[in-house]
C-alpha cells in the first residue's frame, strides 16, 4: 500500500522517538487548502458575524455552522488579521481522519485549549496514537479570548500610563497624547494571529501526526465518544474542556448586546 502511494510521509524530526508518521493521501487535498477564511473576508471585510447569521453568510462555504452549536462560537469578526488566525486554528472546512470504529486510540483529548494541546503533543511525542477533538478554536481561551489578547491589550494601556506619568520620571512629552483605540485592538489581533501557528490545525495534524477532529465530542460509553456522527474508542482520555464566562441573571441583559471575554476582543471602535 505504501508503494501504491495511498499515504504521504510526515516530518517526524521533532519527535524524540523519530517514528515515521503517515497520513492518507486523500486528506492532503482537503477543502482546507482550496477554500480559506481570507476568501470569505473579501465579501465580509470588517463585519462582526453573530452565530445566528453564520449560516446565511457562509454556511455553504464552511462546515463551522454544522459542527458546533450557538454558544460555542458566539460571533466572529471577519477581517484580514482574524482570517490569519481562523485559517490556523479553525480551517474553514475540515476533513476528519478516517476511522473504522474498531481501532482504539491510546489517548483521546477533548478540548484543544492550552491543556489539551500540551497533552496531545506530549502523548504523541511519547509514541501514543492520539486523537484530539476541538469544537471551536484551537488554542482555546488562552490564545483566542484570554491570556494573549488581554496581555497584548494591557501592554498598550501600560504605554499610555507611562506616557501620561512620564514627567514623574523626568521625561517631558511635548504635545498631546492621543489614544487610537482601533489601532490598539488591531495590534492585539495581529499579535494573536502571528503566534497562532503554534496551536494550528496544520501543526498538530500534519506536522505532529495527531488525528484532529473539529466538532463537538460526546461520551457514549466508558471508552467511546461520538464526534460528527463517527464512533471513536480509546484507552485513556483527557477531558480538557475548560470553562466559559458565567452570564449573570440580570433582567434585560439578554435583550442587549453585552460583552464577555468571548467577544470583547472583537471590538474595533
Ligand atoms: C480574559 C482572560 C485572561 C486570562 N489571562 C491569563 C493569564 O494571563 N495567564 C494565565 O495563566 N491564564 C490566563 N487566563 C486563563 C487561561 O486562559 C485558562 O486557564 C486556560 O485557557 C485554560 O485552558 P484549558 O485548556 O483548560 O481550557 P480552554 O482554553 O477553555 O480550552 C477548552 C477547549 O475545549 C473545547 N471544548 C469544550 N467542550 C468540548 C467538547 N464537548 N468537544 C470538543 N471541544 C470542546 C472548547 O471549545 C475550548 O477550546 C485568562 C483567561 C481569561 C478569560
What DSSP string runs through 114-153? HHHHHHHHHHHHTT--EEEEESS-TTHHHHHTSHHHHHHH
pLDDT confidence tier of residue 74, bands split at 50, 70 and 90: confident
C-alpha cell at 135: 469544537
Q: Is the pLDDT reported for residue 6 higher than 70? A: no
Q: Is the pLDDT reported for residue 113 higher than 80? A: yes
| DSSP E strand boundaries for the chain | 7-10, 21-24, 47-50, 75-78, 104-110, 130-134, 211-214, 217-221, 224-227, 230-239
Nearest of 150, 136, 137 to residue 259 by alpha carbon: 150
Ligand 1 mean position to 187 CA, how many Å? 22
Q: Torsion angle of alpha carbons 14, 98, 224, 141, nearest 10°?
A: 50
**Which residue's alpha carbon is at the smallest distance from atom 50 of ligand 1?**
146
**Which residue's alpha carbon is at the smallest distance from atom 33 of ligand 1?**
111
| Cβ atoms 136, 201 nearer than 8 A | no
Q: What is the mean pLDDT of residues 54-66?
A: 88
Ligand 1 mean position to 242 CA, how many Å? 5
Q: How many CB atoms are closer than 10 A to CB 146?
A: 18
β-pairing, 224-227 vs 21-24, is unpaired
- The residues with which 234 forms a beta bridge, in sequence order, are 105
- Is residue 109 exposed (0-12), middle (13-18) or buried (19+ Cβ within 10 Å)? buried
Which H/E stretch holds residue 143? Answer: helix 140-144
pLDDT confidence tier of residue 32, bands split at 50, 70 and 90: very low
Q: What is the mean pLDDT of residues 62-80?
A: 82
196-220, pLDDT tens digit by residue?
A: 999 999 999 999 999 999 999 999 9
Q: How far apart are the first and last CA of the chain?
A: 56
141-191, pLDDT tens digit by residue?
A: 999 999 999 999 999 999 999 999 999 999 999 999 999 999 999 999 999
Give me the phi and psi of 14, to 5 degrees please.
-70, -15
Q: Torsion angle of alpha carbons 212, 198, 142, 194, nearest 10°?
A: -130
Q: Is the pLDDT reported for residue 30 higher than 50? A: no
Q: Is the pLDDT reported for residue 27 higher than 90? A: no
State the average pLDDT for the chain.
Answer: 88
Q: Percent of the chain beyond pLDDT 70?
A: 85
pLDDT confidence tier of residue 67, bands split at 50, 70 and 90: confident
163 CB less than 6 Å from ligand 1? no
**Which residue's alpha carbon is at the smallest distance from atom 31 of ligand 1?**
113
- Of the listed ranges 10-14, 33-37, 50-54, 100-104, the least confidently predicted one is 10-14
CA pair distance 198, 65, nearest whole angstrom: 25
pLDDT confidence tier of residue 71, bands split at 50, 70 and 90: low
**Which residue's alpha carbon is at the smallest distance from atom 10 of ligand 1?**
147
Q: Hey, where are the domains in the chain?
A: 12-143+192-242+253-266
Query: What is the best residue among 94, 111, 116, 260 to mutate for testing ligand 1's pocket, by most ligand atoms within 8 Å of CB?
Result: 111
**pTM summary value:** 0.87
Contacts of 22 (CB under 8 A, 6+ apart): 2, 7, 8, 9, 10
219-235, pLDDT tens digit by residue?
A: 999 999 999 999 999 99
Domain 12-143+192-242+253-266: which topology?
A: FAD/NAD(P)-binding domain (3.50.50)
- Check residues 65 and 263 and name the one with the higher pLDDT: 263
pLDDT confidence tier of residue 59, bands split at 50, 70 and 90: confident
Which H/E stretch holds residue 192? Answer: helix 181-195
Whole-number pLDDT of residue 158: 98
3-state secondary structure of 220: strand
CA pair distance 126, 134, nearest whole angstrom: 21
Q: Is the pLDDT reported for residue 69 higher than 80? A: no
DSSP-assigned letter for residue 101? S
Amino acid at each position: 500500500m505504501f508503494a501504491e502511494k495511498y499515504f504521504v510521509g510526515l516530518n517526524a524530526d521533532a519527535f524524540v522517538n523519530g517514528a515515521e508518521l503517515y497520513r492518507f493521501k486523500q486528506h492532503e487535498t482537503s477543502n482546507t487548502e482550496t477554500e480559506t477564511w481570507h476568501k470569505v473576508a473579501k465579501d465580509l471585510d470588517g463585519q462582526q458575524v453573530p452565530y445566528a447569521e453564520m449560516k446565511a453568510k457562509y454556511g455553504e462555504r464552511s462546515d463551522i455552522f454544522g459542527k458546533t452549536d450557538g454558544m460555542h462560537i458566539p460571533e466572529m469578526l471577519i477581517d484580514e488579521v482574524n482570517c490569519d488566525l481562523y485559517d490556523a486554528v479553525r480551517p474553514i472546512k475540515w476533513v476528519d481522519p478516517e476511522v473504522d470504529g474498531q481501532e482504539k486510540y491510546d489517548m483521546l483529548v477533548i478540548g484543544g485549549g492550552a491543556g489539551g494541546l500540551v497533552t496531545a503533543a506530549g502523548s504523541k511525542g511519547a509514541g501514543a496514537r492520539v486523537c484530539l477533538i476541538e469544537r471551536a478554536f484551537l488554542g482555546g481561551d488562552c490564545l483566542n479570548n484570554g491570556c494573549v489578547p488581554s496581555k497584548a491589550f494591557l501592554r498598550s494601556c501600560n504605554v499610555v500610563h507611562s506616557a501620561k506619568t512620564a514627567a514623574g520620571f523626568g521625561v517631558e512629552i511635548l504635545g498631546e497624547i492621543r489614544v487610537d483605540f482601533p489601532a490598539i485592538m488591531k495590534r492585539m489581533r495581529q499579535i494573536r494571529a502571528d503566534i497562532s501557528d503554534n496551536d494550528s490545525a496544520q501543526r498538530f495534524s500534519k506536522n505532529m501526526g495527531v488525528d484532529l477532529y473539529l466538532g463537538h465530542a460526546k461520551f457514549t460509553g466508558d471508552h467511546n465518544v461520538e464526534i460528527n456522527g463517527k464512533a471513536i474508542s480509546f484507552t485513556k482520555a483527557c477531558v480538557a474542556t475548560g470553562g466559559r464566562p458565567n452570564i449573570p441573571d440580570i433582567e434585560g441583559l439578554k435583550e442587549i448586546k453585552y460583552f464577555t471575554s468571548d467577544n470583547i476582543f472583537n471590538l474595533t471602535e
